[in-house]
Structure 1
């Protein structure tokens, strides 16, 4: 099942971003270092119109460092783009974004030409935490749920550096199926928009093939290579005591435990996608979406033709 989530306030945020971009020098897009491709907003790419872009891979302390480096190399090869990885809880690395922005827009700076930076990203990616770290105080609300920030905020990091914080926003249609699952696992999508068990099974499939030692170490499982996703979820439930009447495993609770362990880093430093993997998923998603649009257009054309025939018969 494809996962989609685009509440009404996100449409308003999209409009607000488009308006604010007219006076912005650098656009910062915060990405989840565990899923940079899936957490990059394709809608934003069409809005920034070639403005200098800084990609911040947040939560790097939770991500596989080798994968993070691969993503940094991927973005830094692109024209007009710079990328850095940050652990939002550390003050000194967070300040690196000011230097990166000045390098992207060297013509801005000073009281007469202050740097104007827009920071945006998907829900729960760590924007508010980063801003609080930069300011050294709780300026922006934070929370481990999607959609905490609802209004634009302006934060003066220095006398000539203004940072505009926007609410987290997804895009109307997620065409990469795996991205929907990865976003749900990371906490970027509202809890009512997905099924915990389905997301947990997808997560287990990836962990089984890419991070088997994480499953073995956390849940003390045996012979995971020959078990299905469903069997692994059952085994995790038994190990963690997620049981219900008759000693049966509560699969919903098991799924919640697995997702929580991934989000908090209890499973270790894990990334859910590599650049080559995501580009392959994206190509498949674009092909499937093109086919969907073609079917939709064909249906609309057939419906219009049928209507015109009815009209001519009546006349």
Structure 2
């Protein structure tokens, strides 16, 4: 019997390269106006796709002299038993000196850990200010790709039971930047909820970025043909250990859809939609995360992302005092001195 060989490349289908909308551009401009007031940036990403749900535009808007950033990976429960994966993720963040934590938004204790981190950053700032309190409070911006759990986190952090931010399963529920939301009575900490920010098409590069975002729910589900999404999911499953679907392994999505359809009259599209909607644990959506550290460098990847970004600066005009600061992204990730 021949050994099954998975595909190591995915076809370059003609699909949309972006879901970047007008309200997201408006949010970027709002970010820029808020920058002087902000103390901490909470950037949420999906733990299953740490590269695809990372937004280089947010890098551009952070000034490390006045802002701290904490990356929060959501959906911890879906990968928490994959120790090798989590160790690789830790090494990546150490490579660029970036703080991160993992949470499961449905578990109160992990949300409490986020609040502890916020208070710790606030205490560090007050210590640098010789213990003087912040006159307008400690301002925390919650940002990230669409539908990664920003509003859910804010509702969980809110001290009262009242729901303060809209949530939903589809991308794009929050469409405007909210006012400050006070989350504690004693610490004077305020959160600012924001709409999810996607990427312009040229920053996505390879087709698989949009497919990954679709699997994560970060773009509208009807943007890409469900059969193509299902084919990409099958491609990822075959690259990873374990069986995520019934029957013998296959690279043919049509064979699999025929195998798993409930009724003989079910169409391929409807079968693909139902299969995509199933909850799965342990599956990684970024293929780069399956490579070892000698094959893939996070720093090199980010350098390429910034090269693709070029002079994309919708959040500020050339006359703005922050324009030069926004161009200087290398202050965040300085290149190693090879001399």
Whether TM-score is above 0.5 comes out as yes
Alignment correspondent of 1:74: 92
1:107 is paired with a residue whose SS is helix
Aligned ranges 1:131-210 → 2 under 5 Å: 131-135=154-158, 136-153=161-178, 154-159=180-185, 160-173=188-201, 174-210=204-240
Are 1:46 and 2:63 matched, yes or no?
Answer: no
Contact 1:175–1:289, Cα closer than 8 Å, also in 2: no
Q: Which of the two has higher C-alpha Rg?
A: 1
Contact 1:124–1:144, Cα closer than 8 Å, also in 2: yes
Shift of 1:82: 1.1
Deviations along 1:87-110, whole A, 9 cap, x unmatched? 001112112122223444512484
Segments of 4+ in structure 1 off by > 4 A?
A: 274-291
1:191 is paired with a residue whose SS is coil
Are 1:28 and 2:37 matched, yes or no?
Answer: no
For the residues of structure 2 that align with 1:11 and 1:212, how far apart are their CA atoms?
41
TM-score (norm 2): 0.72
Distance 1:258 1:110, change over 3 A: farther
Aligned ranges 1:255-274 → 2 under 5 Å: 255-261=272-278, 265=279, 267-273=280-286
Contact 1:176–1:284, Cα closer than 8 Å, also in 2: no
Alignment correspondent of 2:315: none
Alignment correspondent of 1:123: 146
5+ residue gaps, structure 1: 294-315
2:169 is paired with a residue whose SS is coil
Are 1:17 and 2:31 matched, yes or no?
Answer: yes
Contact 1:60–1:68, Cα closer than 8 Å, also in 2: no
Alignment correspondent of 2:326: none
TM-score (norm 1): 0.77
Alignment correspondent of 1:250: 267
Alignment correspondent of 1:308: none
Shift of 1:191: 2.6
Contact 1:29–1:119, Cα closer than 8 Å, also in 2: yes
1:253 is paired with a residue whose SS is helix
- RMSD over aligned CA atoms reads 2.9
For the residues of structure 1 that align with 2:283 and 2:28, how far apart are their CA atoms?
31
Shift of 1:256: 0.9
For the residues of structure 1 that align with 2:168 and 2:220, how far apart are their CA atoms?
13
Distance 1:242 1:165, change over 3 A: farther
Distance 1:69 1:133, change over 3 A: farther
Are 1:97 and 2:125 matched, yes or no?
Answer: no
Number of equivalent positions: 274
| Counterpart among 200, 206, 214 of residue 244 in structure 2 | 214
| Counterpart among 75, 83, 92 of residue 59 in structure 1 | 75
Shift of 1:59: 0.9
Shift of 1:77: 4.6
For the residues of structure 1 that align with 2:57 and 2:306, how far apart are their CA atoms?
15
Deviations along 1:259-312, whole A, 9 cap, x unmatched? 111xxx2x3232223547495799689879979x9xxxxxxxxxxxxxxxxxxx
Contact 1:31–1:58, Cα closer than 8 Å, also in 2: yes
1:213 is paired with a residue whose SS is coil
Deviations along 1:221-265, whole A, 9 cap, x unmatched? 1x21xx22324xx33443331543xxxx5221122122111xxx2
Shift of 1:43: 0.7
For the residues of structure 2 that align with 1:52 and 1:166, how far apart are their CA atoms?
17
Contact 1:177–1:285, Cα closer than 8 Å, also in 2: no
Structure ranking higher in helix proportion: 1
